Chain A
């Protein structure tokens, strides 16, 4: 079992719809959770981070964390073609210093 798992996709949604990206992690003691967006050939760009159970909203983005079920999700409302990218889930696990453990990423395609 991978430490951080994501469906590789592609996840295809129509413009204006809600895109839902999911991530599960193996280490129950994980502390903090990050979503990065990566366009092809570019650097990972931080979208959101979340530390506590529940929802955290920032503009069109909502991160959801459920530590009991060991999953974290990212919702993108009113999806735009410019949101088309690979979304990386990264986890800072218990006793791992500041190291991030990444999932393989989910490729999102938003179709006009």
Chain B
């Protein structure tokens, strides 16, 4: 069984640009989560999808962040426009049921210059 995959692994952009991160969950996992870790801080929850619906987006920092999960399969997280403080590692996780163990992807390291 393939694990959670994320693309790209690294992204370096300039302030004001747009970046889109992609996450492919484990096949059959209806629950998909986005987390991020900024430098020196804990991993923080961003949002939770159940299939294509946003179950909880309480962790989204502001309206520059837009997450989608069309068709209930892969998800994208767009940051537009990116700011310096958005730099960090963005993790995606998935689980089969709610609640259930979450399996994490390798993360996307985002650097905003």
Contacts and interface: CB of A to CB of B under 8 A. Distances in A.
Interface in A93-112: 97-105
Contact of B45 (A34, A88, A100): A100
Interface in B74-113: 91, 95, 98-107
Given A4-B42, A100-B45, A34 B99 contact: no
Contact of B99 (A4, A98, A104): A98
B64 interface: no
Contact of A44 (B31, B43, B59): B43
Interface of A: 2, 4, 31-32, 34, 36, 42-46, 49, 88, 90, 92, 97-105
A104 B42 contact: yes
B14 interface: no
A43 B95 contact: no
Contacts of A92: 99
Contacts of B105: 43
Nearest to B92: A43
B101 A101 contact: no
Interface of B: 3-4, 31, 33, 35, 41-45, 48, 55-56, 58-59, 91, 95, 98-107
B62 to A, nearest CB: 18
Cβ-closest 10 pairs across A and B: A102-B43, A43-B104, A99-B45, A43-B106, A44-B104, A102-B42, A97-B56, A98-B99, A104-B42, A98-B98
A98 B33 contact: yes
Nearest to B99: A98
A88 B78 CA distance: 27
A98 B42 contact: no
A42 B45 contact: no
